[in-house]
Amino acid sequence: MLVTRGFKGRRREGDADRLRLPPGQFLTPEFPVLTTGPTQHTRLDRWSLALQHGGSLLGKWSWEQFEALPQTEITCDIHCVTKWSKFDTRWRGVTIDNLLRAAGLAVAPTGFLMAHCDGGYTTNLLVADLIEARAMIATHFEDLPLLPSHGGPARLLVPHLYFWKSAKWVRRLAFREENTPGFWESHGYHLRGDPWREQRYEGDR
Amino acid sequence: MIDAATAAAQWRVATVTAIRAETASVKTISFDVPGWPGHLGGQHVDLRLTAEDGYVAQRSYSIASGAGTSPQIELTIDAVPDGEVSGFLHEELRVGDQIEIRGPIGGYFAWSAEYDYGLLLIAGGSGIVPLMSMLRSRDAAGATQPARLLYSSRGIDQIIYRAELDRLAAQTTQFTLTHTLTRNAPSGWTGERGRIGRVMLTRRQFTPVGNPDVYVCGPTAFVETIAEHLVAMGHRASNVRTERFGPTGAIRT
Ligand SMILES: Cc1cc2nc3c(=O)[nH]c(=O)nc-3n(C[C@H](O)[C@H](O)[C@H](O)COP(=O)(O)OP(=O)(O)OC[C@H]3O[C@@H](n4cnc5c(N)ncnc54)[C@H](O)[C@@H]3O)c2cc1C
């Protein structure tokens, strides 16, 4: 650890807050927008969500069908790799567990998953990071339909990983055997992205 | 031999070698970073400050200097009001001080002379920094495809790198520079006035002809608006690369 001469720090969060912040993160009251390119706008009547395993389709839902699936609300802290964290964000949507159930699967496929999104964005995840109420397809933020700039109509929400894993405008979830890198993961970011281990970049352990 | 990713993720101790003022609120800081792995135009570093009691603050800053492997890199920092890190860098940091840096980070908002397909660059305020790195890289590499920069500042005194941009525009035939001033333009001002919109983008030929690579950088709201205009004008969304610098004007929910 190198002490920076003259640096005292200004935004010291209280002790409770600091314990809730992963290393290198700071707390923001705002909800910044970060994407690689322009916001995607998908009409709800053209929207669908597909679940795949290998080459086969496990399930596919239109917007209406998706909205009819069991809804779950979660309140969580979110952590962006660009260093901001936001506490107590409230989301509503369909957990991956419920999505698997709706597709008639009693147990989740093992291995990995690639999330595919409008605009071509992809991100890879461990199935274990998605099940047991750890992740959902979110359609509402603080009781309001998710804005396109924040990933609406539907985004993945995996709050215990850096927020780039919570892919905006998600349309297809594909289970697979291998852990191949998605978009950011092939541009120098970490394959898993656990904020508590500060797995920001490819070379981080 | 360690691979590039491991090298980029490693924290290095950088020494401040020079500090110069760009505008009243913007400074460029030069660092000597032994072992620097080299970077492309548009990439950034993470900077880590540690207080005596172990309190740590980290922030990202774009690399301003052109691509290459020189261990001398430059960052250009805008002092945001009340900013914890930018405030420290402006008020406290001196030549000879040491700071932890890691990078380069970001392989996407980056430009390499190997991809010389024409460049459209749009900057708001300190969003010019990574684009300046691209322009410096382009100049050094002798790129031949046309490049255009549309740069939005509040007033003439807020323009960063003004003299160097003028020099590049005068010396490089294939580089077209346009400034727009959003608050007050002096009399005799020949550039654009007001915020960047579709009409201005069209007038300045920021059109999709030839499928150029487009890079947009600045405050979040600025980037958001301009990216939407570009797509509406027919640019392929995959050609429009964006970097949002901060919560300024973020959509509050
Ligand atoms: C990839 C990337 C590259 C960046 N490159 C540069 C760069 O080259 N030059 C540069 O000057 N900055 C750059 N930034 C912004 C930089 O990381 C910091 O956010 C900025 O310096 C403010 O940090 P701070 O600690 O001074 O302010 P904080 O203490 O974090 O914030 C203080 C106040 O300022 C507001 N604020 C925070 N960030 C900004 C901002 N960017 N603009 C306006 N208000 C803000 C906050 O909402 C808060 O109210 C970059 C950001 C990213 C994500």
Closest to A155 in 3D by CA, of A22, A40, A27, A29:
A40
Q: What is the CATH number of the domain that holds B45?
A: 2.40.30.10
Q: Are the C-beta atoms of A63 and A47 separated by less than 8 Å? A: yes
- Residue B48: helix, strand or coil by DSSP? strand
Q: Residue A65: which H helix or E strand, with range?
A: helix A63-67
Find all residues with CB under 8 Å of B185, minimum gap 6, and list them. Answer: B155, B156, B191, B193
Does residue B113 lie within any of the structural domains? no
B99 with B165, same domain? no
Does residue B153 lie within any of the structural domains? yes
As a whole number, mean pLDDT of residues B104-114 equals 90
Does residue B110 lie within any of the structural domains? no
CA distances from B114 to A36, A190, A191, B118, B176 (A): 21, 26, 27, 11, 21
- Per-residue pLDDT, B250: 32
Find all residues with CB under 8 Å of B53, minimum gap 6, and list them. Answer: none
Q: What is the CATH number of the domain that holds B189?
A: 3.40.50.80
B21 with B93, same domain? yes
B45 with B159, same domain? no
Q: How confident is the prediction for chain B on average, in pLDDT?
A: 93
Does residue B114 lie within any of the structural domains? no
- Give residue B15's Cα distance to chain centre: 22
B247 band by pLDDT with thresholds 50, 70 and 90: low
Interval B59-73: pLDDT, tens: 999 999 999 999 999
B133 with B248, same domain? yes
- Per-residue pLDDT, B251: 31
Residue B165 confidence (pLDDT) above 80: yes
> In the listed set B47, B82, B105, which residue is the last one of a domain according to the structure?
B105
Question: What's B138's DSSP letter?
Answer: H
Question: What's B100's DSSP letter?
Answer: E
- Per-residue pLDDT, B249: 36
B126 with B224, same domain? yes
CA of B80 to the centre of ligand 1 (A): 7
Residues in A closer than 8 angstroms to B88, CB to CB, are 4, 6-7
- Residue A112: helix, strand or coil by DSSP? strand
A48 vs B116, more confident: A48
β pairing state of B147-155 and B119-124: parallel
Q: Which residue owns the Cα nearest ligand 1 atom 17?
A: B60
CA–CA–CA angle B105, A87, A101 (5° rounding): 90
**A145–B contact, CB cutoff 8 A:** no
**Percent of chain A at pLDDT exceeding 90:** 80
- Per-residue pLDDT, B2: 61
Structural domains in chain A, CATH included, are 23-28+45-197 (3.90.420.10)
Based on the structure, what is the number of domains in chain B?
2
Q: How confident is the prediction for chain A on average, in pLDDT?
A: 93
B88 with B143, same domain? no
Does residue B195 lie within any of the structural domains? yes
Name the residue range of residue B66's domain: 4-105
Q: Which of A2, A11, A202 sits opposite B9 (nearest CB)?
A: A202
Are residues B60 and A10, on separate chains, in Cβ contact within 8 Å? no
Q: Which residue of B has its CA nearest to A6?
A: B92
B97 with B127, same domain? no
B3 band by pLDDT with thresholds 50, 70 and 90: confident
Residue B240 confidence (pLDDT) above 70: yes
> In the listed set B105, B135, B157, which residue is the last one of a domain according to the structure?
B105
B81 vs A35, more confident: B81
**A31–B contact, CB cutoff 8 A:** yes
**Percent of chain B at pLDDT exceeding 90:** 81
ipTM for the predicted complex: 0.85
B178 with B219, same domain? yes
Q: Are the C-beta atoms of B192 and B200 separated by less than 8 Å? A: yes
Does residue B111 lie within any of the structural domains? no
- Sign, CA dihedral B14-B18-B21-B22, equals negative
Q: Which of A28, A35, A39 sits opposite B247 (nearest CB)?
A: A28
B225 with B140, same domain? yes
Residues in B closer than 8 angstroms to A12, CB to CB, are 55
Does residue B79 lie within any of the structural domains? yes
Q: Which residue of A has its CA nearest to B247?
A: A32
Written in H, E and C, the secondary structure of A5-20 is: CCCCCCCCCCHHHHHH
**Percent of chain B at pLDDT exceeding 70:** 96
B24 with B135, same domain? no
Residue A32 confidence (pLDDT) above 80: no
Distance CA A53, CA B105 (A): 33
Are residues B88 and A11, on separate chains, in Cβ contact within 8 Å? no
B22, B61, B90: residue to mutate for ligand 1 pocket, most atoms within 8 A of CB? B61
Residue identified by tokens 């933020």 is A141
Residue identified by tokens 């996407």 is B108
> In the listed set B81, B105, B129, which residue is the last one of a domain according to the structure?
B105
B40 with B147, same domain? no
Residue A33 confidence (pLDDT) above 80: no
Interval B31-67: pLDDT, tens: 999 999 999 999 999 999 999 998 899 999 999 999 9
Does residue B168 lie within any of the structural domains? yes
Residue A110 confidence (pLDDT) above 70: yes
Q: Is B86 in the pocket of ligand 1 (CB under 6 A)?
A: yes
Q: Are the C-beta atoms of B240 and B208 separated by less than 8 Å? A: no
B93 with B155, same domain? no
Are residues A24 and B48, on separate chains, in Cβ contact within 8 Å? yes
